[in-house]
Chains A and B, each alone.
Chain A
């Protein structure tokens, strides 16, 4: 009896194993594209329901705005400010793509934002809550407008009096306050509710995609991955953002990079950066996006059942937790960079060398760190005590050579500095911040980990667990 029972089991698992092996060899990695039209009310000619052009236009607006933020000449510059604002809050036609642009054989198809999607801006999608990590108790859009103003009158985006690097602060905070927040707090949150944007109705009247299909696509778009991300290694996906590896980037082989489907932006870029150290964030997130989109497509224009929605929410959970980890890994990495910068600065100052270059590098890394920490505040999920501690450890500005730090904003809108914190103390804050981020988000890549080798060293000493006498 036993043998009779196990035999079919054995051959069954054998078949599964064989088909898995063949599956791995022959199946092409799935792309996030060409999902059929399932919306019943649509009777036009479109065959592909996938659509996230608005998101990709915003990625391009973000990239361009970051470039502009580094163009100041140190004097108030109203023209630059107006231009930056047109990328942030304007919807006007005729905005050029300032970044990414063609470089050598890395040819880019679009040169104007409108070629991807018309009438898009960033402000309308900015997180509206108060940002505790930034001085002045301002809302998300107010923080951006403040930073844009300061950036336009700074010298190449850097303010040596405060240590603020505006291109970095704007860019990293925007990755949170627009892309991350929109995806995890809107599209993957309330829009996944049973009655919100249901799958048996078009997203909006006349649309060729359903409510759920398009909500899901928009969230995917904000992540910033190329549609063929599953076929790319971490190094390749990373390289595309650096305009390298034209061959792997050009998925459709038309000799041009389509900024809609073939570019790596923002979070996908940082996920790939982590993944180069062995994590699998990019494939985990994009994989979950593809599976979720397949599930919605398979519902074939009918409302999702409770069971389908439960399964979909499983993918949502994966996406959200991994996405938070991607941001936290980046913050972790730059906390380590700041620590090292402080070490370098100390050496230079002690030998009476010129610290200006090292100080600028420190400001840049600090801007990235701060921006990412502010980004973590915008998920709609309160970080609680951990969030408070992170803000306290980093403060409102990098500790300056004289021991000062940004403390707030005065009534004229100027950043104030004060206090007297030693650089050694601030290094300790960076160590504590790494520990806090690592514990709170269960980080794995842990780039620039200040104490990793100390932990490793402790491990070689062995456990002192046993009760052994002498």
Chain B
């Protein structure tokens, strides 16, 4: 257990991570402002809502913490075997030379700040776009849903629910990151060489920083901050992500986006928030599931995925043989 604490604790101090203490503080501050100024809540009930023991020490929350610690160890073990962004970057960088037969130098065309801005923005957009699609598939493809279910089995949302993730899903996320970061870095480096830099605040991309500083932690929280209707078509509000976690029929498979909701708008999965809508989080009734137990969080998804896989395989005529023996 010592190893895991040592490994995840730095996330509190790492501005590239959502649970960085600075973002936690800014989120609390934003939640407070929202409750006081918009919802006109009195001071005491503000504090009660933000520090609600139901949010922080419920069975669901305890399961979040457990998963976070176990996964940290698992990811440390898995990471050397995962696709590295450097591998992707080298492959793309090499291929670019063949595609363009050499390396055309464009670094003099744009001023450095514009190269840096384009790189940072492109990375942010492609990353957010890739997150939208992977998330969508996690819901729509049955075998993937059996893993993503773990995240949706949270019945109470708190910022640590972000870690409530099946390790197989963690592997998929890391492949996604490697592809996006490796590709973007290689393409920009190919054309602009040493002039490519990431625009950073506190060592994190300026967009990541902004997204997190403006209360990304509230996505997984009971504080349902809404944006103006038109803004909610572009940027995902915390309330919109809470809709994604709602088990109401009309909310199923809505709002897959992360920082931007524009992808949902473009691909027809957008749902705007409604004021004071009561939401119930978690899986719908028909999803049989052992809530908040390690078995439910780790083993059940594997079993269900295997069943789906075997059912799929048995439908291929060639494999009928196995079924009959």
Residues of A within 8 A of B (CB): 342-343, 346-347, 422-425, 427-428, 431-432, 435, 451, 453-455, 457-458, 460-462, 464-470
Contacts and interface: CB of A to CB of B under 8 A. Distances in A.
B182 A458 contact: yes
A424 B198 CA distance: 27
15 contacts: A343-B103, A423-B101, A424-B97, A425-B97, A431-B97, A454-B93, A457-B185, A460-B203, A461-B123, A462-B14, A462-B203, A464-B181, A466-B17, A470-B131, A470-B258
A343 B191 CA distance: 12
A343 B104 CA distance: 8
A467 B163 contact: yes
A425 B103 CA distance: 11
Interface in B74-112: 74-76, 79, 85-86, 89-90, 93-94, 97-105
Contacts of B74: 467
A435 B93 CA distance: 13
Contact of A469 (B169, B178, B182, B200): B169
Given A431-B93, A457-B197, A462-B16, A468 B173 contact: yes
Nearest to B154: A469
A466 B89 contact: no
B85 A458 contact: yes
A453 B119 CA distance: 14
A460 B204 CA distance: 8
A63 B177 CA distance: 53
B63 interface: no
Q: What are the nearest 7 A-B pairs in CB distance?
A: A467-B170, A464-B177, A424-B101, A462-B16, A424-B97, A346-B102, A454-B189
Contact of A464 (B85, B102, B167): B85
A464 B84 CA distance: 10
Given A427-B97, A458-B85, A461-B185, A467 B173 contact: yes
A457 B173 CA distance: 20
A346 B185 CA distance: 23
A306 B196 CA distance: 57
A467 B167 contact: yes
Contact of B98 (A422, A454, A455): A422
B76 A347 contact: no
Contacts of B196: 453, 457
Contacts of A451: 90, 93, 189
A435 B89 CA distance: 13
B197 A465 contact: no
A457 B188 CA distance: 10
Given A462-B16, A467-B163, A469-B165, A347 B97 contact: no
B203 to A, nearest CB: 8
A466 B167 CA distance: 9
B49 interface: no
A465 B75 CA distance: 6
Interface in B98-135: 98-105, 123, 131, 135
B158 interface: no
Interface in B128-184: 131, 135, 151, 161-167, 169-171, 173-174, 177-178, 181-182
Given A460-B197, A460-B203, A467-B163, 20 more contacts: A343-B105, A346-B102, A425-B97, A427-B103, A432-B94, A453-B189, A457-B198, A458-B86, A458-B181, A458-B182, A461-B123, A461-B181, A464-B85, A466-B8, A466-B17, A466-B72, A467-B165, A467-B171, A468-B17, A468-B170
A251 B163 CA distance: 66
B162 A468 contact: yes
Contacts of A465: 75-76, 79, 174
Contacts, number: 122
B97 A455 contact: no
A401 to B, nearest CB: 12
B135 A470 contact: yes
Nearest to A453: B194
Contacts of A435: 90
A416 to B, nearest CB: 24
B165 A422 contact: no
Contact of A461 (B85, B93, B131): B85
B292 interface: no
Contacts of B85: 458, 461, 464
Contacts of A457: 185, 189, 196-198
B102 A427 contact: yes
A466 B102 contact: no
A355 to B, nearest CB: 13
B100 A424 contact: yes
Contacts of B174: 464-465, 467
B208 to A, nearest CB: 9
A150 B146 CA distance: 71
A428 B95 CA distance: 8
B89 A454 contact: yes
Contacts of B186: 454
B100 to A, nearest CB: 6
Contacts of B181: 458, 461, 464
A149 B60 CA distance: 82
Contacts of A422: 98, 101-102
Choose among A342, A346, A458 the residue with the greatest number of B CB atoms under 10 Å from its CB. A458
B254 interface: no
Contacts of B16: 462
Choose among A427, A431, A435, A467 the residue with the greatest number of B CB atoms under 10 Å from its CB. A467
Interface in B273-319: none
Given A342-B102, A457-B185, A458-B185, A464 B173 contact: yes
B233 interface: no
A346 B98 CA distance: 13
A120 B171 CA distance: 65
A435 B162 CA distance: 37
A462 B204 contact: yes
Contacts of A461: 85, 123, 181, 185, 198, 205
A455 B165 contact: no
A431 B94 contact: yes
A344 to B, nearest CB: 10
Nearest to B128: A470
Contact of A468 (B18, B123, B200): B18
Nearest to B74: A467
B71 interface: yes
Nearest to B97: A424
A358 to B, nearest CB: 13
B6 interface: no
A425 to B, nearest CB: 6
Choose among A432, A460, A465 the residue with the greatest number of B CB atoms under 10 Å from its CB. A465
Nearest to B95: A428
Choose among A431, A455, A466 the residue with the greatest number of B CB atoms under 10 Å from its CB. A466
